[in-house]
Amino acid sequence: MSPSDPLLALASDKRRAPPEFRARRLTAPLFVALGALLAIEAVGGMVLFFARLTWSSRPGEALHVWCGIGLTLVYAVYQWRHWSRVAPFRARFDYLLGLLAALSMALVNATGLWLGAVWLLERAPGGGSGRPAAPLLTALHDVGSMLVLTFVGAHVGAVLMRDRRAGDPTGG
């Protein structure tokens, strides 16, 4: 088969959604919910980090824990659907950034759920010592959160740039 073969062209476009469909994904309810929860968690985490360092307090911690649980659930559904659409892994920059984003998100979700469980046990009747959660676990969660924001932003940017170049016949 030659590269100009219509069947080959059809097969190569089979996995690629039309540009208008790809653009609509950015306003899909699951993506919007994921973005909103990620933004709430990012701002809440920064507020908690700053307040813990400056005033030794943790304002809004309950909201941060419950939104974190929601973010974990929404992210699991989103990632399952996303990976079923983009698999298998390809040796491309946007895939590498997506992998780094997913790994850092898994780290943050795992440490966040662990910290959330400690937080819930602290508030259980008869439970809790009043001490803050393990500082190293908290630090791992905080640093991981910064990695999530870095790699998620870079991944979305790389995908948008790839789509922009794909729509331009000159590749630019």
3, part of any domain: no
- Domain assignment present for residue 7? The answer is no
Total domain count, the chain: 1
- 2 is a domain residue: no
Indicate whether 151 belongs to any domain.
yes
Closest CA to 106 of 75, 84, 143, 80: 75
* Contacts for 17 with CB less than 8 Å, ≥ 6 apart: none
Q: Could you tell me if residue 119 is inside a domain?
A: yes
Q: Are 7 and 1 in contact (CB under 8 A)?
A: yes
Residue 69 amino acid letter:
I
Structural domain of residue 22, as residue ranges? Answer: 17-167
Distance separating alpha carbons of residues 147 and 110, to the nearest angstrom? 14
pTM tops 0.85, yes or no: no
Say if residues 151 and 104 touch (Cβ distance below 8 Å). Answer: yes
Residue 112 lies in a domain: yes
Query: How confident is the prediction along the chain (172 residues), in pLDDT tens digits per residue?
Result: 444 544 444 444 455 666 666 667 777 899 999 999 999 999 999 999 999 889 988 888 899 999 999 999 999 999 999 999 898 999 999 999 999 999 999 999 999 999 999 888 888 777 666 666 788 999 999 999 999 999 999 999 998 888 777 765 544 4
For residue 12, being part of any structural domain is answered with no
Helix ranges (DSSP H) in the chain: 6-14, 19-25, 29-55, 61-86, 93-123, 135-167
Is residue 77 one of the residues assigned to a domain? yes
> Contact at 8 Å (CB) between 44 and 63?
yes
Identify the pLDDT of residue 28: 86
